[in-house]
């Protein structure tokens, strides 16, 4: 088992329930902000929410990431406008049972999967980070597409609705994650080396 990025930066948080709660709340704030930001892109505008979901998973580890996503979903279920399109497209459980419901479940599964892989060192190199992020995206899309098909019928263009318009944006976010996570680990390692030399 490897240390997560968060606990490497803030070791005290690993042993404090209060600090973990603060991290989870901070994570839900990031998720909410990322859901509201739309970046002009082709063929549809891109949000950075899936990027935040997967990176939070890798940075927090599977347990804290899972708790963070569950807290985020609870906030949404209670009617807080934390999801993309809320409150304009509805709030609470009614929104969660709509077309995005499967993707919200996918967020939980993907964050936990990426956290699990990060605790096995997959976030240390670009190649394994890419593999983890790719698996995370698959885990987001599977329940999302299954729910869309069950909700609207498989005779509808489910892939055109819920997958193909977002592939190019997801590839872009995956590439960004491959640069971000290993780079942060490199900074931590360099800082550790510097501290060792300073002590010596």
Does 200 have pLDDT greater than 60? Answer: no
Helix, coil or strand: residue 154: coil
In the chain, where are the structural domains located? 5-199
Lowest mean per-residue pLDDT among 67-71, 141-145, 190-194: 190-194
Give me the pLDDT at residue 144, please.
Answer: 97
Q: What is the pLDDT of residues 9-65, one digit of tens each?
A: 999 999 999 999 999 999 999 999 999 998 998 888 888 999 999 999 999 999 999
What pLDDT sits at residue 198? Answer: 64
* CATH architecture of residue range(s) 5-199: Orthogonal Bundle (1.10)
8-state DSSP, 115: H
Instruction: Give this prediction's pTM.
Output: 0.92
pLDDT of 175 reads 92
Contacts of 147 (CB under 8 A, 6+ apart): 99, 101, 102, 103, 105
Query: What is the C-alpha radius of gyration for the chain, rounded to an integer number of angstroms?
Result: 18
Q: Is residue 122 pLDDT above 60, yes or no?
A: yes
In tens, the pLDDT along 154-191 reads 999 999 999 999 999 999 999 998 889 999 999 888 87
Q: Residue 195's pLDDT is what?
A: 56
Mean pLDDT of 149-156: 95
Residue 184's pLDDT is: 92
Within 8 A by CB and 6+ apart from 163, the residues are: 141, 145
Taking residue 96's Cβ as centre, other Cβ atoms within 10 Å add up to 17
Mean pLDDT of the chain: 93
To which H or E segment does residue 32 belong? Answer: helix 17-36
């Amino acid at each position: 088992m490897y240390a997560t990025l968060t606990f490497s930066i803030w070791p005290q948080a690993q042993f404090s329930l209060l600090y973990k709660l603060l991290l989870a709340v901070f994570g839900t704030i990031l998720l909410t902000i990322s859901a509201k930001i739309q970046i002009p892109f082709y063929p549809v505008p891109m949000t950075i929410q899936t990027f935040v979901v997967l990176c939070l998973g890798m940075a927090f580890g599977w347990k804290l990431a899972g708790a963070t996503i569950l807290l985020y979903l609870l906030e949404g279920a209670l009617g807080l406008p934390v999801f993309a399109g809320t409150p304009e497209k509805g709030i609470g459980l009614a929104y969660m049972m709509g077309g995005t419901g499967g993707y919200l479940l996918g967020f939980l599964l993907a964050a936990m999967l990426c956290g699990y892989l990060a605790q096995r060192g997959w976030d240390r190199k670009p190649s394994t980070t890419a593999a983890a992020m790719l698996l995370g995206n698959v885990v987001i899309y599977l329940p999302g597409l299954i729910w869309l098909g069950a909700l609207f019928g498989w005779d509808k263009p489910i892939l055109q609705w819920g997958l193909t318009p977002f592939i190019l944006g997801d590839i872009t976010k995956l590439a960004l994650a491959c640069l971000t996570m290993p780079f942060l680990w490199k900074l931590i390692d360099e800082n550790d080396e510097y501290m060792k030399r300073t002590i010596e």
